Amino acid sequence: MKPIFSVPGVYHGCYIIDALFRSTLECFYDKQCVGKVQSYVESLVLFRPRVLDASLKIMKQKIGVVYIVTATIGLIGGLFTALKIVVPNLVKFIDYLVRRCAIRKMNPQISIESIRR
């Protein structure tokens, strides 16, 4: 496949960051090359919105069911994770309170007023 527009010194790769680090970007130091890139980008911007609008409408229809299922599964998974963290700590705290009350009932504190009488 022949590229539509070739920019000298720009590397093409799988990841954008790899392409950026390996590129020399020599085109951006030449006014003619920058002008070509700008005109190419402007032609893309003028052409794409109609195609993009149509594809977004299709994506909204297709993603509806998939999004609902995925969001529901994610919500349930998040709730389970939160409950796994909260419930054991809550049970420990309630157990602490129950034991504390039981100890107080067994050993009532003697106050100074009860000794004077």
Per-residue pLDDT of 57-86, as tens digits, reads 655 556 667 777 888 898 999 899 989 999
Q: In the chain, how many domains are there?
A: 1
- pLDDT at 90 (0 to 100): 93
Residue 8 within any structural domain of the chain: no
- pLDDT at 93 (0 to 100): 93
Distance CA 86, CA 33 (A): 60
Residue 84 within any structural domain of the chain: yes
Residue 63 within any structural domain of the chain: yes
Domain limits at 25? 16-116
Residue 4 within any structural domain of the chain: no
The pTM of the full predicted model, rounded to 2 decimals, is 0.34
Residue 6 within any structural domain of the chain: no
For 102, what's the count of Cα atoms within 13 Å in the CB-facing half-sphere? 6
Segments of the chain with pLDDT less than 50: none
Residue 69 within any structural domain of the chain: yes
Residue 39 within any structural domain of the chain: yes
- pLDDT at 2 (0 to 100): 64
Which residue do the tokens 């590397």 mark?
Answer: 11
CA 93 to chain centre: 33
- pLDDT at 95 (0 to 100): 92
Per-residue tokens: 108: 């009532």
